[in-house]
Structure 1
């Protein structure tokens, strides 16, 4: 991939990897189902007659593993795109890298804060930041500062889940702090072997950090070093996929085994009992699937099924869905508290359909009319070459 003289990369093909979209779609649906079942448990619903109450709980309880898969996909795509644009991480253009991150992340983040703050100011309690000893306004300001400084996970560790709709920003905080260092790692270490060694160290720290914080959920699930290993595994997978020639027949047999292993781990026990090595194992499984996706980006197996195409579409909206779905769920909880909805029958399943439809609608509208247009405009404005100082004309 050639770059312009300014160091700004030429355009990369806009073709999407449909298998990665499928993975993202599954991951975000697991998160959405997890959050819905916290608000409206489905253990006694009609769905429980098909899966059993234990089966419903097994699917619902481990939404955080969906976030682990997100982390791996994020690290994989960020690294793969950087390699495609600049050829080597040591050639990465820092200004352009940060400009692209800003363009993709900040508009939706600011919109989320505007919506949540606005709903809180109208008096809807679930969107208010509740911190003991602080006025609602001061608490809201502190929550906004935490969101904008990518320290929401630290804020949650200190104050608890004090703002319902902004709680999802813990994972964005983890990602963006990791990516603040991403260009520096490439530019300072330069050699690919040293970069991989650094990320390997991050991966090694993860399970031991989680092991040391088993008595603290915010420590073993939401802390930076409890989650960085998933992103680092994704980064390493992208480098290896770009350098190694993997036998497609090996991947064909390895991927089903990997999927079975990931599903088994997901359903086996709560993440609270498996996170020490389970997060690493889930991340490694996702990395294997991502490496395989490079060789089968648009295979006919996916395009054949309408349901899977729908999950792919969900994956394309995963960022918007993840950020804004708790607004829909919060409004539902305000209008229809769980105590007013029968635990049995079809009522809660119907509400699940309303929640998913509302989340898909708001995500698609924001993506189409706000996030994507702003992303394109900001990328063009922020990543354009700095004007060069022209030499003064010699005096006559």
Structure 2
């Protein structure tokens, strides 16, 4: 059976393969934190995969809204993000902070304020990775900072034209790469800073945003179709990710590697969107993969608790402790999703943009909109 073209898949309401990609990314983190390495993915790659996916998906949605209405509703965007993120996050913080205070873990005291206000990434960057049960939410802080900044920047760039947006994302990625390499190698900021700080990780998100822009350009879609036309093609970026993880100095690992890995993950993401419609990669769209992808967010939140619970089952062999930890993580995540998150997710439809596509007459009345249309025509 012939694979559908990416152009057709990217017009679907729900992109195929994304939940499977989320599942792979979150399980890479879970297994890495359990002490079990993976062949291609590490925790670094799993987190970077989430960053790339977030940049791509948020920008893809913003582009669809902008095409439909000619602008972005900040209120609707932030309400949808709040309903998706805050209930599970603050429920997790409440339980984790209470437990750490109860068991006398003093590290939690310094982490409470950064955790509550999404600055855990800079807390870890400046103070070292917290040993509290909320230390791993640093990556969620980076994503929240991205959600706060990117829609406003997106609107500004779209007023200038898509070419400017693409140029900005490329330049921003290169600037972040240079700044991260310089701060690690010459300023001696250390691995904690370059790994956790938003200003040293924005390139991961920017490359995902760039991918969404390029995926609307016909000649790039032709390229993307070409590199996702055979089932074996994803093994090329996977193999390069493996080499990037295994080889190179620390200057490479905490410098160019973050950008190179994000670029490879962006290519892999597009390949899997298309190839998940085929037989070999079809497991990415299996109901189990989709479900684990749907609950990947609470899995990430609760997996430290699950793994620690598995470790306490000392009467079991190590592999069964690990299996128990993964199962407990899944159970906690499922409880979070079904008993808490879904109640709020049902409200998201109230903040879905339903505005009509801009008409030619309205564009004639609005020269700025006409300029925007001309820019889109040049882009396509």
Q: TM-score higher than 0.5 here?
A: yes
Tell whether the 8 Å contact from 1:83 to 1:89 is kept in structure 2 after alignment. no
Q: Residues of 2 paired with 1:267 and 1:174: CA distance?
A: 26
Length-normalised TM-score, structure 1 = 0.75
1:314 alignment counterpart: 292
Tell whether the 8 Å contact from 1:28 to 1:318 is kept in structure 2 after alignment. yes
The offset of 1:240, in angstroms, is 0.8
Instruction: Kindly provide the CA deviation profile for residues 317-375 of structure 1, in whole angstroms up to 9, marking residues without a partner as x.
Output: 21111111112234445x46xxx68xxxx721111101110011111221122112212
Length-normalised TM-score, structure 2 = 0.78
Q: Residues of 2 paired with 1:23 and 1:353: CA distance?
A: 21
Tell whether the 8 Å contact from 2:172 to 2:206 is kept in structure 1 after alignment. yes
The offset of 1:152, in angstroms, is 0.5
Instruction: Kindly provide the CA deviation profile for residues 297-318 of structure 1, in whole angstroms up to 9, marking residues without a partner as x.
Output: 5333333699x76444322221
**Is 2:337 aligned against 1:367?**
yes
Query: Is there any run of 5+ residues in structure 2 with no aligned partner, and where?
Result: 1-9, 355-380
Tell whether the 8 Å contact from 2:229 to 2:275 is kept in structure 1 after alignment. no
Q: Which of 109, 123, 126 is residue 155 of structure 1 equivalent to?
A: 123
Count of residue pairs the alignment pairs up: 334
1:221 alignment counterpart: 195
Q: How does 1:204-353 map to 2 (within 5 A)?
A: 204-214=174-184, 215=188, 216-245=190-219, 246-247=221-222, 248-252=225-229, 254-268=233-247, 274-296=253-275, 298-303=277-282, 310-332=288-310, 335=312, 347-353=317-323
Q: How does 1:166-185 map to 2 (within 5 A)?
A: 166-185=134-153
CA 1:304 to 1:180, structure 2 compared with 1: closer, same or farther past 3 Å?
closer
Secondary structure, aligned partner of 2:17:
helix
Q: Residues of 1 paired with 2:106 and 2:289: CA distance?
A: 33
Q: Residues of 2 paired with 1:96 and 1:297: CA distance?
A: 31
Instruction: Kindly provide the CA deviation profile for residues 131-157 of structure 1, in whole angstroms up to 9, marking residues without a partner as x.
Output: xxxxxxxx53x5232123221011122
Q: Residues of 1 paired with 2:119 and 2:290: CA distance?
A: 31
Q: Residues of 2 paired with 1:146 and 1:199: CA distance?
A: 28
Tell whether the 8 Å contact from 2:275 to 2:282 is kept in structure 1 after alignment. no
Tell whether the 8 Å contact from 2:276 to 2:283 is kept in structure 1 after alignment. no
Query: Is there any run of 5+ residues in structure 1 with no aligned partner, and where?
Result: 1-11, 43-55, 131-138, 386-396
